[in-house]
Amino acid sequence: MIQKMKGTEDILPKDVARWQFVEDLARDLFDQYLFREIRTPLFESYDLFARSVGNTTDIVSKEMYDFEDKGGRRLALRPEGTAPVVRAYIENKLFGPEHPQPLKLYYIGSMFRYERPQAGRQRQFNQIGVEVFGSDNPATDVEVIALAWQFFQELGLRGIQIHLNSLGEKTARQAYRQALIDYFEPHFDELSEDSKRRLHDNPLRVLDSKDPKDQALLPQAPSILDYLNETSQKHFEEVQSLLQALNIPYQVDDRIVRGLDYYQETIFEFIVENQAIGAQSTVCGGGRYSGLVEDLGGPQKSGFGFGLGMERLLLLLEEEGIDLPGYEPVDVYVICLEQAANRLATQVVQAARGAGLIAERDYLNRSLKSQFKTAAKLDSRLVVTLGEKEVASGQLTFKNQANGQETTLSLEDLLEDFAGVFRRLTMDTSVIDAFFKGE
Ligand code: ATP
Ligand code: MG
């Protein structure tokens, strides 16, 4: 038997309702904030990621699914969403005056990284992300953070914390890199193997390490915040003051650096303390990137965005006992008792669907009892039973499952206005009764 590849998941129908609920909530928020969806290809040229995410990052050096296609091109399955969106932004000249500026985009889709699979860490995983292009205003940083914050609030996730930091501009980062190297070098032997390797090409990544050996050295390490120039400092202060104006709680955390090379100025992570996702406590991370559009051959435009891991988010919601709505109840269930009623059942179920109702029928000639069971499982609101008698008389009896009330109608009644029939038969009259009784 052929099985799914390691690090991939089948998302089964019983779980898909949860995914759709979260995605729909995100889409509604994006509409409110005027972010528009963009869909980019699942594979891109290898160079796109090497030049943007950075050759020295784990993503490019270790985790990328890259390969040669039959035409000899070097490709990569996208490991993240920002670089493809930036490429599309440049290639389609979305910076032009005919497009809204700043340009606000979002994406929802699969990313691919060759990692060691564990809870909340897969090889194909799904992200929701946003990017804003062409605004240096700290209010843009805060708009994006506020959007993510509102999203988590509406999902009912408590205990989520916003960690905020600034990486400053390039010169500050360069000075800080050197300071980090100077700090870690005397402790070289105490570093983890990964960090020994990273120290000279990407010392910021040492701060990101989850290894206890590295962690022990972190408290005394220099802080990027001491290296910011005046412009960066002012930007960072403005971001904080705007967050305060919106009563969005945050903490400055100079140990977060983000994994990708292109970040500058404000960066942030939404962090949750939760065993289920273990060390993977970051559900959403992002920040400002200032040189990326130019580096990829576009105009001088800054970006600000985030990426949010769907698998981790869903794990977390489950862990926190947050129930997401499942599928909607069925409006009309058609029980079909004999082959003779097959035609009538087909007409009734299709008439219901044509009227915009959610409807299902039996196809398997099961017993009355098991068909009623199915109707109940589907949370059906009206059930109609069809057999030889109904075929002969043309009179159909609908049972309201909530109160047991039965109403007999003809097929003509249904074809004329099934939606009206449904509303009438399922109307909750208890409120009206109570009103007239003066309760
Ligand atoms: P980590 O440090 O946990 O590896 P990261 O810094 O590599 O995370 P990002 O590149 O910032 O993660 O991606 C944004 C979000 O995407 C993460 O916060 C996480 O929720 C999710 N994510 C990243 N890699 C994976 C993966 N392999 N499987 C599932 N979700 C992932
Ligand atoms: Mg990672």
Pick out the residues of the known binding site for L-histidine: 80-82, 113, 127, 131, 258, 262-263
**Block residue for tokens 């609908």:** 398
Cβ-based neighbours of 239, under 8 Å, separated by 6 or more: 138, 141, 142, 164, 266
Report how far ligand 2's centroid is from the alpha carbon of 428 (Å): 52
- The closest alpha carbon to 332, from 314, 319, 316, 350, belongs to 350
Look at residue 291 in the predicted model and tell me its pLDDT. 86
- Report the C-alpha gap between 41 and 44 in whole angstroms: 7
Structure tokens at 250: 């945050």
- Report the C-alpha gap between 22 and 26 in whole angstroms: 6
Q: Cα 208–283–37 angle (5° rounding)?
A: 120
Report percent pLDDT > 70 for the chain: 96
Give the ligand at the shortest distance from the Cα of 283: 1
Cis peptide before 102 (omega within 30 of 0): yes
287 lines ligand 1 (CB under 6 A): no
Q: What is the pLDDT of residues 373-417, one digit of tens each?
A: 999 999 999 999 999 999 999 999 999 999 999 999 999 999 999
Report how far ligand 2's centroid is from the alpha carbon of 274 (Å): 18
Q: Is-contact 37 108, C-beta < 8 A?
A: yes
- Tell me the pLDDT band of 273, cut-offs 50, 70 and 90: confident
Q: What is the pLDDT of residues 186-199, one digit of tens each?
A: 999 999 998 998 89
**Block residue for tokens 């003509």:** 412
205 lines ligand 1 (CB under 6 A): no
312 lines ligand 1 (CB under 6 A): yes
Look at residue 58 in the predicted model and tell me its pLDDT. 86
Pocket test for ligand 1, best of 123, 127, 209, 274 (most atoms within 8 A of CB): 127
Report how far ligand 1's centroid is from the alpha carbon of 309 (Å): 6
Q: Which helix (H) or strand (E) holds 287?
A: strand 282-289
Mean pLDDT for 72-93 is: 98
Check: pTM over 0.75? Answer yes or no: yes
Look at residue 158 in the predicted model and tell me its pLDDT. 85
Q: Is-contact 268 254, C-beta < 8 A?
A: no
Cβ-based neighbours of 300, under 8 Å, separated by 6 or more: 293, 294
Give me the DSSP letters along 239-253.
HHHHHHHTT---EE-
- Report the C-alpha gap between 106 and 387 in whole angstroms: 52
- The closest alpha carbon to 167, from 208, 216, 201, belongs to 208
Domain ranges of the chain: 13-169+229-320, 332-437
- Report the C-alpha gap between 383 and 402 in whole angstroms: 11
- Report the C-alpha gap between 181 and 169 in whole angstroms: 18
- Atom 13 (ligand 1) nearest CA: 307
380 lines ligand 1 (CB under 6 A): no
Q: Which helix (H) or strand (E) holds 272?
A: strand 263-272
Report how far ligand 2's centroid is from the alpha carbon of 180 (Å): 21
**Dihedral over alpha carbons 106, 108, 110, 114 (to 10 degrees):** 50
- Tell me the pLDDT band of 209, cut-offs 50, 70 and 90: confident
Cβ-based neighbours of 417, under 8 Å, separated by 6 or more: 355
Structure tokens at 232: 């960066």
302 lines ligand 1 (CB under 6 A): no
Report how far ligand 2's centroid is from the alpha carbon of 115 (Å): 8
pLDDT greater than 70 at residue 278: no
Give whole-number Cα distances, 382 to 406, 407, 415, 430, in Å: 9, 10, 16, 18
163 lines ligand 1 (CB under 6 A): no
- Tell me the pLDDT band of 439, cut-offs 50, 70 and 90: low
pLDDT greater than 90 at residue 1: yes
Would you tell me which CATH number, out of the four given (3.40.50.800, 3.40.605.10, 3.40.50.1100, 3.90.1150.10), belongs to the domain 332-437? 3.40.50.800
Give the ligand at the shortest distance from the Cα of 120: 1
CATH code of 13-169+229-320, in short, is: 3.30.930.10
Least confident window among 205-209, 350-354, 415-419: 205-209
Q: Is-contact 427 403, C-beta < 8 A?
A: no
Look at residue 348 in the predicted model and tell me its pLDDT. 97
Give whole-number Cα distances, 195 to 24, 54, 113, 262, in Å: 40, 17, 20, 20
- The closest alpha carbon to 227, from 182, 142, 170, belongs to 170
Give whole-number Cα distances, 164 to 191, 215, 249, 380, in Å: 26, 19, 10, 48
